[in-house]
Structure formats: C-alpha cells, structure tokens
C-alpha cells in the first residue's frame, strides 16, 4: 500500500559467469583489464568451458569470434563485458560455441557461450575470463568479490548506485 515510501534498490549483485577461481582484475596479464581501463569487476580462472549470464538482461553483442559477449543488466543498467581468455580473438572462433545473439533477453544463469579450454591452452592462450562493468562511472562503487572458488551465479560483483 505504501510502496512509494520504500527506498529504491541501490545495491545490485552480478553472478559469476563461470565455474572456477575468482581473482582480482590485477591478476589478468592484459593491462587493458588489469588497469581497469574498460571498467571494474573481477575475473574467473575457469575450470569448465561454460559461460553464463551474470544477471537478467539483454545481450548487446556477441563478437564474431565468440570470445566475448556484452549485455546490459535489467535491474541495474550495468553494461557488462565478459571476455573469455587473453588474445583469444586470434583463435577466430575455433573452439568457441555461441548460444545467444545480440538482442536476446537472457536470465541469470543462462548459458551464453561454450569454450574448449584445452584448445585455448593448446593454442598458447590464457583462459582467464574477466567480467567488467563498463559503465563503472555510473555507480558509487563496483567491487569484485574474489579469492574463492565460485560456481556460475555465485555473488561476484557488487554494484552500489
């Protein structure tokens, strides 16, 4: 009845995009990610080759090479980039399978991409998977939760409006 008195949600949580070890972006060997040039977030050293939606939202872009996907979270408006591996664009899609396309509406935990981690490693690339909030400056804070093993959907990034 008095819902207009309720404070608007100001805290949002993104789920981990993959199963593995959650690490800070500073541990990513590419300075674009490590120095947070594209935004704040966290990374997962994946133990499985499945990449999931960290929130309900809309897919903005799936790169032709299937190594990265962007989406916008429905609740917070966070512009999310999930980038599978370092320099994996060089693989030209080899070992990657896409399950979504631009414009698709997705639910948290929905499968976005699959990657053959052994192929990535055999090609000489690091499979570490950064997840960034590219519009970080729209929020009071964006903090990656790291230092532990995560399953897809586990709390990974906390956003404060």
8 A C-beta contact, residue 130 and residue 96: no
User: Annotated catalytic, 83?
Assistant: yes
Tokens of 128: 């570490």
Q: Which residues contact 47 (CB under 8 A, 6 or more apart)?
A: 19, 20, 21
**100 φ, ψ (degrees, to nearest 5):** -140, 170
Q: Catalytic one among 83, 88, 95, 156?
A: 83
Give the Cα separation of 158 and 67 in Å (integer). 24
Retrieve residue 47's tokens.
């133990």
Q: Are 16 and 154 in contact (CB under 8 A)?
A: yes
* Enzyme catalytic residues: 83
């Amino acid at each position: 009845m008095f819902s207009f008195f309720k404070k608007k949600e100001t805290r949002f949580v993104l789920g981990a995009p993959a199963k593995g070890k959650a690490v800070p972006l500073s541990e990513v060997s590419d300075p674009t990610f490590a120095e947070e040039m594209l935004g704040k977030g966290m990374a997962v050293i994946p133990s499985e080759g499945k990449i999931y939606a960290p929130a309900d939202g809309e897919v903005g872009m799936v790169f032709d090479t299937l190594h990265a996907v962007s989406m916008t979270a429905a609740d917070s408006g966070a512009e999310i980039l999930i980038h599978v591996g370092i320099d994996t664009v060089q693989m030209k899609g080899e070992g990657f399978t896409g399950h979504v396309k631009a414009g698709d509406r997705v639910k948290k935990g929905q499968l976005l991409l699959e990657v053959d981690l052994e192929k990535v490693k055999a090609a000489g690339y690091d499979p570490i998977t950064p997840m960034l909030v590219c519009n970080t400056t729209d929020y009071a804070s964006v903090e990656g939760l790291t230092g532990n093993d995560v399953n897809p959907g586990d709390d990974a990034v906390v956003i404060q409006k």
